[in-house]
Amino acid sequence: MKQQTLSDIEYSNRKRKTKREEFLESMDRIIPWDHWINLIREHYPSGKRGRPPRGIETMLRMYLMQNWFNLSDVGIEDAIYDSYAMRTFMHIDFFAEQVPDATTLLKFRHLLEEHKIGEQIFADVKNRLDKAGLIMHGGTIVDATIIAAPSSTKNKDGKRDGEMHQTKKGNQWYFGMKVHSGVDAGSGYVHTITGTAASVHDVNEAEHLLREDDEVMYGDSGYLNAAKHMGSIDEERLSSMEFRINVRPSSIKMPKEYDGIRWDEEIENRKSSTRCKVEHPFLIVKRQFGYCKAAYKGLAKNMNRFNVLFACANLLMCIRAGRTEAFCMG
């Protein structure tokens, strides 16, 4: 058992825990640390040459906190020094070791990006949810969100990011990328994500977001006529699928003086009541985790981070639903 320091004794007499501390404790309980560490171990430096590397678990915990609180490499290093909750989550004891510096975290992140560890983490969470019986098959909700990227050309190359493009939404122009997600219609957990330039239309990615056993697809009006854009899906399966797509409000023609049941509006409301589940993971990633703007150049680096963020969003939704024990047993 770890011996308590004076700081631990002092903090144990607090009136209550902070929300940050409660969040970190709940994530610490649900994350399968041993498996995630093993995903990284085969690619991690052995330490036979040069300076001995920092522990994988220490670096992974620091990297996850950087994503959750949307901090830079230097910012997360400073925050760990300042925050008792973060030091506790990292299991850092200043008598024995110091916080890894920003350069060490940078190299660790590049290692994860090079070997696509983010995709493996997302797949692991999805498989565990499936084994625990928390994902209901049969229907998928599809949607996309725009992630802005710096549009300035005041850099060394004098150019914008070549993998990002601009698109118009409403009367506003955006420059950046799109993250497309497929969400299980029954549970609300994300099972598939893809990334494209912002100029790619939502309906073009719909076929990549569906599972083999899906019978129903939900989507907003951007996915009208989606069946015509699914070239990789055979016609027999397309004919058996049901597309519950919300129509544009302007297409519903109903006299204002009509006093009966407005069935067209009622049907659209029923579709929207299911389709709204796709917004919850976006809410967590863009508002709670604060990742509204691309932090890196290129789609690959940003998608590695999005894979980790959506995996953690699934875990957080699992915690809020009171399914932590079921997930851990699965």
CA angle 26, 139, 195 (to 5 degrees): 70
Q: pLDDT digit string (tens) for 217-253? A: 999 988 988 888 887 777 777 878 899 988 887 777 7
- The pLDDT, as a whole number, for residue 300 is 94
Cβ-based burial of 52 (10 A; exposed 0-12, middle 13-18, buried ≥19) = exposed
Please give the single-letter amino acid code of residue 313. A
SS3 of residue 241 by DSSP: coil
d(CA 27, CA 312): 8
Parallel/antiparallel/unpaired status of strands 216-219 and 190-197: unpaired
Is the sign of the CA dihedral 65, 71, 76, 82 positive or negative? negative
Q: Average pLDDT by consecutive 10-residue portion of the chain (330 residues)?
A: 66 80 95 96 83 89 97 95 91 85 95 96 96 92 94 80 90 94 95 96 92 91 85 77 85 70 80 92 95 92 97 96 86
- The pLDDT, as a whole number, for residue 1 is 47
d(CA 214, CA 212): 6
Other CB atoms within 10 A of residue 14 CB: 10
d(CA 76, CA 37): 20
The C-alpha R_g of the chain, in whole angstroms, comes to 23
| CA 318 to mean position of chain CA atoms | 14
SS3 of residue 140 by DSSP: strand
Q: What share of the chain is helix, strand, coil (3-state, %, to 5)?
A: 50, 15, 35
- The pLDDT, as a whole number, for residue 117 is 97
- The pLDDT, as a whole number, for residue 3 is 67
Query: What is the model's pTM?
Result: 0.91
For residue 174, list its beta bridge partners: 167
